[in-house]
Structure 1
Amino acid sequence: MHGHLSQDTPVDATAAVVWDVYGGLQLGRLVNKLLPDVLGTVEVIEGDGEVGTVVKLTYPPGSPGIGYMIERFTKVDDENRVKETEVIEGGYKALGFDLFRVRLEIIEKESESSIIRSSIEYEVDDKLAEVASHVSIKPLEIMAETVRKHLIEKKTTH
Structure 2
Amino acid sequence: MAKLDTNLKNQLLDLAETLNAFKSDTVQVIIAERLLDSIFVNEEQNFNNPENGQEQSYNPRRAKRINPNKERKNSGHVRERKPTGATKAMYRLLDTDFFDEPKSISAIADRYKEEFNEDFKTSEISGILLKSVKENLLKREKNQGNKRYEYVKA
Q: Same fold (TM over 0.5)?
A: no
TM-score, normalised with respect to structure 1: 0.21
Q: Which structure is higher in strand share?
A: 1
TM-score, normalised with respect to structure 2: 0.21
Computing the radius of gyration from Cα coordinates, the structure with the larger value is: 2
Higher relative contact order, structure no. (Cα contacts within 8 Å, ≥ 6 residues apart): 1
